[in-house]
Amino acid sequence: MRRACKHSWANDVSARVVSRAFRAGTIVALVTAFAASGITTCAVAQQTTHTIAMDGTRFVPESLTVKRGDRVVWVNKDPFPHTATAAGRFDSKAVAAGGSWSFATNAAGEFAYVCTLHPGMKGVLIVK
């Protein structure tokens, strides 16, 4: 999971509350202050998992747009192996019939990929 934190008045208030609590030497004050304030300083961004099927000697869908940090899973539905290979970015190696492979999207960009065993199989992964 990623944390998406933005500087705001809540961060400043939280910092002051923490500072005062430690200066007073009591954790009870800290816990009480946060419970009473309801302040949340960081939102947790949810990771989404997307699936691409290797089916009928095609990637389905051929093009997929995801957010940075999402996970993409390739599932081989054909009776023979495939790869999902984007030169210099990712390489599933051979994914056996009925198998799967996943990739965490850490960098933004547009990545064309192919099955190295069946070069007519092409796809594009777009990471925003």
Q: For the chain, how many residues are written?
A: 128
Report the pLDDT value the prediction gives residue 17, as an integer from 0 to 100: 43
Tokens of 83: 């790869």
DSSP letter, residue 97: T
pTM (predicted TM-score):
0.67
Residue 59 shares a structural domain with residue 25: no
Helix (H, G, I), strand (E, B) or coil at 48: coil
Report the pLDDT value the prediction gives residue 37, as an integer from 0 to 100: 52
Tokens of 28: 């009870």
Residue 65 shares a structural domain with residue 108: yes
Helix (H, G, I), strand (E, B) or coil at 94: coil
Helix (H, G, I), strand (E, B) or coil at 10: helix
Report the pLDDT value the prediction gives residue 21, as an integer from 0 to 100: 43
Report the pLDDT value the prediction gives residue 30, as an integer from 0 to 100: 46
Residue 62 shares a structural domain with residue 108: yes
Q: How far apart are the first and last CA of the chain?
A: 16
Q: Which domain holds residue 55?
A: 49-127
Residue 9 shares a structural domain with residue 54: no
Tokens of 69: 């940090």
- Residues of the chain with pLDDT below 50 are 1-15, 17-18, 21-22, 24, 26, 30-31, 34, 41
Residue 86 shares a structural domain with residue 108: yes
Report the pLDDT value the prediction gives residue 13, as an integer from 0 to 100: 41
**Quick count: other Cβ atoms within 10 Å of Cβ 9?**
8
Residue 16 shares a structural domain with residue 67: no
